[in-house]
């Protein structure tokens, strides 16, 4: 029946009730011929582009459709669709639609082409999209819809998937995928908000992770809660990441929307938010495996470097090589006293090098113990990981070579004052396939080159803008009332101190409970804590040893 309308020009003059009835019957019977028929929509003197036209038709007629083969000219703009529902709606709306206070008329070339003529084989637009979706679903139960609208197959077949939410048109397909998908990747789709029309198909299934990275979500306010089951979330590369928020506030606000979150932007979080995505400044585009190794290394290495450098021993092989290069602008007398100068193999400035070598023999470091000894001689530090720039030079099955450029400050120590240091450290790591330090596999440092100089005033101004949290510390930063209460309760549980005394000790060490417990243990052993500071008279003979076990 539908064949009699082959290339039939349908408009206000040719439309009849009989044609309307035939189209309604065709929709009801789901005729195979209808599924493979494409209808040409023609718009006279359309002033805008294709996306504006598709959006206008969607809003005016109130239904979704997938356009094909859009062509624009000065007089007539056209595209194809397989949606008889759209054709029927246009007919009932008298072939007119409004845009910017102007009325535009539509003509329809009914049943103009078949899918075989357009695509080269007998396949519908729905079948093309279904095939692409199935290919983007992997064995890890991840549905990868990244940059979906620009999929090469859609582009090759001239199917204009102008916005991601068109997938909601494929209800049966989306319901099936929603039951099977655990990780949904929606990255690089120019989303300005969370696409609830799509996510509604997934939230009742096993979905635990959503990737919204590299979109156009403007603020955290737009990041509406998706599901209470979400454990992994990616939002980096959105304008919301440019908000003036410190890392702790950023994580706290996102965690309020996703209470079961354990991983943010590929970085694990714990209950206190100690681990966090603190730096994203990679010089080159890294693969997921390389990025994971680098971020774990940097987190652990510099966490120990700023707290307890003896624990860095396990990072180096027994025959590790290490050099320091410095160029500080001090007097000759200061150079001889400077710990960097005393342990440097060479100087950037040859004059300073000559002054030092006259009184000291050149030293080199070719063992694990020597490296740790040198590092322990350097002043205590605090690194600002947000300033780190990382350049990976090589990563393969045998080694990893990368350079870290950043800023740290030397904490006031004895007679020394606080200094800001601009550093560059080059690490050469080998992949140990045999057990090393009780680990089945590990990356270990074989060579390291350490260069340090005084930071310029501009670098100093742009560093340490936000509170620094170290992975090796259990410390509150700008705590609210609830955080203070929780930390005090934990400290009271271990020490049996009265609340006022517990709070005073925590404030004294800037809410670092690990430091507070160490100081408490020392004071308890030396008898410096009066009995009236405790909640009740208990036997504290075993308390100090218990705390030492906990601290270890």
What does R_g of the chain's alpha carbons equal in angstroms? 33
What are the residue boundaries of the structural domains of the chain, listed by start?
Answer: 2-119, 125-268, 288-461, 481-551
pLDDT tens-digit profile of 418-427? Answer: 889 999 999 9
Block residue for tokens 């020597």: 370
Of the pLDDT bands very low, low, confident and very high (cuts 50, 70, 90), residue 440 is: very low
As a whole number, mean pLDDT of residues 370-389 equals 89
As a whole number, mean pLDDT of residues 198-213 equals 90
Looking at the domain 288-461, which fold is it?
A: Nuclear Transport Factor 2; Chain: A, (3.10.450)
What is the DSSP secondary-structure string of 460-498? HHTSS-S----TT--B-SS--HHHHHHHHHHHHHHH-B-
Of the pLDDT bands very low, low, confident and very high (cuts 50, 70, 90), residue 225 is: low
What 8-state DSSP symbol labels residue 411?
Answer: P
Block residue for tokens 């100093």: 460
pLDDT tens-digit profile of 9-39? Answer: 999 899 999 989 888 888 888 777 888 899 9
As a whole number, mean pLDDT of residues 103-113 equals 91
% of the chain with per-residue pLDDT over 70 = 81
pLDDT tens-digit profile of 52-66? Answer: 999 999 889 888 889
Question: How far, in Å, CA of 113 to CA of 226, rounded?
Answer: 42
Q: What pLDDT sits at residue 33? A: 82
Q: What pLDDT sits at residue 320? A: 93
Of the pLDDT bands very low, low, confident and very high (cuts 50, 70, 90), residue 337 is: low
**What tokens does 283 get?**
């010089």
Q: What pLDDT sits at residue 357? A: 56
Cβ density class 256-290: b for 16+ within 10 Å, e for less: eebeebebbbbbebeeebbbbbbbbebeeebeeeb
CATH placement of domain 481-551: 1.10.8
Of the pLDDT bands very low, low, confident and very high (cuts 50, 70, 90), residue 513 is: confident
β-pair type (399-410, 419-432): antiparallel
Question: How far, in Å, CA of 171 to CA of 402, rounded?
Answer: 47
Q: What pLDDT sits at residue 43? A: 92
361 against 224, higher pLDDT? 224
pLDDT at 141 over 90: yes
218 against 256, higher pLDDT? 218
pLDDT at 144 over 90: yes
Ramachandran quadrant class, 273 (left: phi over 0; alpha: psi -120 to 50; beta: rest): left
Average pLDDT, the chain: 82
Of the pLDDT bands very low, low, confident and very high (cuts 50, 70, 90), residue 358 is: low
% of the chain with per-residue pLDDT over 90 = 30
Q: What pLDDT sits at residue 474? A: 59
Report whether 409 contacts 381 (CB < 8 A).
Answer: yes
Q: What pLDDT sits at residue 332? A: 47
pLDDT at 278 over 60: no
The HSE-up count of residue 414 (CA atoms within 13 Å, CB side) is 3
What 8-state DSSP symbol labels residue 342?
Answer: H
Q: What angle do CA 142, 144, 149 make, to 5 degrees?
A: 160
116 against 31, higher pLDDT? 116
**CATH architecture of structural domain 2-119:** 2-Layer Sandwich (3.30)
Of the pLDDT bands very low, low, confident and very high (cuts 50, 70, 90), residue 272 is: very low
Question: How far, in Å, CA of 543 to CA of 552, rounded?
Answer: 14
Looking at the domain 125-268, which fold is it?
A: 3.80.10
pLDDT at 401 over 80: yes
pLDDT tens-digit profile of 456-505? Answer: 888 888 888 766 655 555 566 667 777 788 888 888 888 888 889 999 99
Report whether 246 contacts 467 (CB < 8 A).
Answer: yes
Q: What pLDDT sits at residue 247? A: 64
Block residue for tokens 């800001």: 420
Q: What is each CA distance from 6 to 37, 85, 108, 286, in whole angstroms?
A: 9, 17, 12, 54
Size (the chain), residues: 552
**What tokens does 291 get?**
């990025």
135 against 270, higher pLDDT? 135
Q: What pLDDT sits at residue 439? A: 47
């Amino acid at each position: 029946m539908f064949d009699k309308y082959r290339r039939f020009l349908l408009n206000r003059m040719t439309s009849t009730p009989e044609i309307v009835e035939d189209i309604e019957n065709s929709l009801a019977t789901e005729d195979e011929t209808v599924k493979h028929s494409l209808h040409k929509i023609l718009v006279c003197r359309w002033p805008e582009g294709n996306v504006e036209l598709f959006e206008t038709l969607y809003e005016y007629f109130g239904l979704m459709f997938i356009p094909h083969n859009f062509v624009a000219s000065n007089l007539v703009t056209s595209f194809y669709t397989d949606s008889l529902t759209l054709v029927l709606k246009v007919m009932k709306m008298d072939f007119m639609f409004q845009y910017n206070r102007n009325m535009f008329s539509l003509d329809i070339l009914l049943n103009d082409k078949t899918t075989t003529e357009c695509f080269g084989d007998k396949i519908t637009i729905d079948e093309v999209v279904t095939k692409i979706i199935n290919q983007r679903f992997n064995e890890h139960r991840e549905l990868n819809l990244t940059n979906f609208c620009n999929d090469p197959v859609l582009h090759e077949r001239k199917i204009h998937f102008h916005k991601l939410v068109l997938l909601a048109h494929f209800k049966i397909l989306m319901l099936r995928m929603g039951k099977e998908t655990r990780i949904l990747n929606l990255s690089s789709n120019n989303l300005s908000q969370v696409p609830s029309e799509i996510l509604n198909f997934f939230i009742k299934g096993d979905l635990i992770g959503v990737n919204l990275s590299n979109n156009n979500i403007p603020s955290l306010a737009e990041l509406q809660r998706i599901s209470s089951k979400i454990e992994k979330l990616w939002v980096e590369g959105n304008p919301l990441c440019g908000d003036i928020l410190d890392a702790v506030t950023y994580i706290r606000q996102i965690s309020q929307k996703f209470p079961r979150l354990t991983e943010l932007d590929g970085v694990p979080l714990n209950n206190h938010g100690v681990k966090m995505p603190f730096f994203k400044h990679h010089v080159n585009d890294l693969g997921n495996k390389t990025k994971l190794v680098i971020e774990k290394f940097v987190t652990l290495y510099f966490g120990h470097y700023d707290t307890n450098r003896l624990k860095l021993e396990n990072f180096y092989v027994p025959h590790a090589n290490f050099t320091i290069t410095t160029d500080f602008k001090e007097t000759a007398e200061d150079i001889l006293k400077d710990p960097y100068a005393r342990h440097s193999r060479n100087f950037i400035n040859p004059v300073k090098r000559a002054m030092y070598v006259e009184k000291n023999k050149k030293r080199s470091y070719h063992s694990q113990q020597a490296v740790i000894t040198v590092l322990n001689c350097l002043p205590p530090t605090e690194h600002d990981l947000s300033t780190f720039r990382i350049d990976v030079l090589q990563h393969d099955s045998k080694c990893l070579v990368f350079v870290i450029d950043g800023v740290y400050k030397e904490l006031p120590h004895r007679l020394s004052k606080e200094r800001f240091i601009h550093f560059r450290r080059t690490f050469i790591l080998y992949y140990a396939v045999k057990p090393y330090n009780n680990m089945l596999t590990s990356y270990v440092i074989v060579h390291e080159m350490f260069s340090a100089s005084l930071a310029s005033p501009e670098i100093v101004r742009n560093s340490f803008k936000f509170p620094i949290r170290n992975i090796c510390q259990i410390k509150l930063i700008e705590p609210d009332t609830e955080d203070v209460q929780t930390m005090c309760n934990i400290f009271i549980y271990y020490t049996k101190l009265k609340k006022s005394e517990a709070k005073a000790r925590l404030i004294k060490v800037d809410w670092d409970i690990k430091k507070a417990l160490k100081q408490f243990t020392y004071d308890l052993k030396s008898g410096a804590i009066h009995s009236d500071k405790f909640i009740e008279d208990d036997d504290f003979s075993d308390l100090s040893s218990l705390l030492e076990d906990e601290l270890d």
